[in-house]
A and B are shown apart, each in its own frame.
Chain A
Amino acid sequence: MQENDHSTIDSSRRKALKAGVGLGLFGMFATLGLLPKSAWAAVDRKVFDAKSLKEAFQAMGGLAPADSNLVILDVPETAENGAMVPVTVESKFPRTEQISILVEKNPTALVENLTIAEGTEGFITTRIKMAQTSTVIALVKADGKFYKAVKEVKVTAGGC
């Protein structure tokens, strides 16, 4: 039992350290709880600066989300106007905690990050900007784990 506890702590510590590297020193201090609470917002916002999918997942805490058919991503095959691409994400997980939308080839990858309160359905429709043809990623957090669904949208006229 004790051994189990230790391994859990170790693995979350490793993750925290990994995230620290991704966010630089500031992020690491924040991860270690050395910054006042008001600084958390700044750390939070940093995920929106990530230039690539890899950077974004790293900034979000070293995520490696598994593909899941319980995450349904509805996007058009082709978008004539990249300034307004409709996106619907539906999570079939019983307790969806978070839905995020990312675009691989946008100047910054993370588009939006939504916290789903208890009693709110794991469902969202929104509109996003796309600079060019790219994969769109629906990232879902459910029961503390991350899952994703990925689809490509062909963009005729970029809107970033």
Chain B
Amino acid sequence: MSDPTKMKAVAANGVTEVRALMQHEMETGRRKDESGKLVPAWYITDFKVQHNGRTVLEGQFGTSVSKNPFLVFRFKGGKAGDKLALSWTDNRGEKRNDEVAIG
């Protein structure tokens, strides 16, 4: 079971700034463990951020996104108390969906 995405969203002057830290190993499939065995690729492939159900940002990751993918972005609109949800899927088919209220 994966850990929840750490997320903070602050609305000011009609713009909401979102900072998100997804919790994921993001294994490239090229790293070897201590016994010299290749660690299989394991990484987030897709994510989506929705504000009150409307997609504001979505994307696809390859294996070169750092461990615990970090994103900062801004969108017009959003006010304190609105719901912001970030969902992701990884290459093993695991999914997460986490929500915060805009502050």
Taking a contact as CB atoms under 8 Å apart, the answer to whether B75 and A121 are in contact is yes
Residues from chain B with Cβ under 8 Å of A108 in the complex: 62-64
Give the shortest distance, in Å, between A118 (CB) and chain B (any CB): 9
Taking a contact as CB atoms under 8 Å apart, the answer to whether A123 and B59 are in contact is no
Residues from chain A with Cβ under 8 Å of B69 in the complex: 126-127
Tell yes or no: A95 within 8 A of B by CB: no
The total number of A-B Cβ pairs within 8 Å is 91
Tell yes or no: A129 within 8 A of B by CB: yes
| Interface set, chain B 49-83, CB cutoff 8 A to A | 54-67, 69-77
Taking a contact as CB atoms under 8 Å apart, the answer to whether A83 and B64 are in contact is no
Tell yes or no: B28 within 8 A of A by CB: yes
Tell yes or no: A114 within 8 A of B by CB: yes
Which single member of A116, A119, A128 contacts B65 (CB below 8 Å)? Answer: A128
Residues from chain A with Cβ under 8 Å of B62 in the complex: 48, 108, 110-112
Tell yes or no: B95 within 8 A of A by CB: no
Q: How many of chain B's residues touch chain A, expressed as a range?
A: 20 to 34
The 0/1 profile, CB within 8 Å of A marked 1, for residues 19-57 of chain B is 000000000101000000000000001000000001111
Give the dominant DSSP class at B's interface. Answer: strand
Taking a contact as CB atoms under 8 Å apart, the answer to whether B73 and A121 are in contact is yes
Residues from chain A with Cβ under 8 Å of B56 in the complex: 117, 119-120
The 0/1 profile, CB within 8 Å of B marked 1, for residues 33-44 of chain A is 000000000001
Give the shortest distance, in Å, between B17 (CB) and chain A (any CB): 9
Taking a contact as CB atoms under 8 Å apart, the answer to whether A111 and B65 are in contact is yes
Which single member of A84, A106, A117 contacts B57 (CB below 8 Å)? Answer: A117
4 new A-B contacts, CB < 8 A, other than A112-B62, A127-B65, are A111-B64, A121-B76, A128-B65, A129-B64
Between A and B, 10 residue pairs with Cβ closer than 8 Å are: A84-B67, A110-B62, A112-B61, A114-B57, A115-B57, A115-B59, A120-B74, A121-B15, A123-B74, A124-B71
- Which residues of B approach A to under 8 Å, CB–CB? 15, 28, 30, 45, 54-67, 69-77
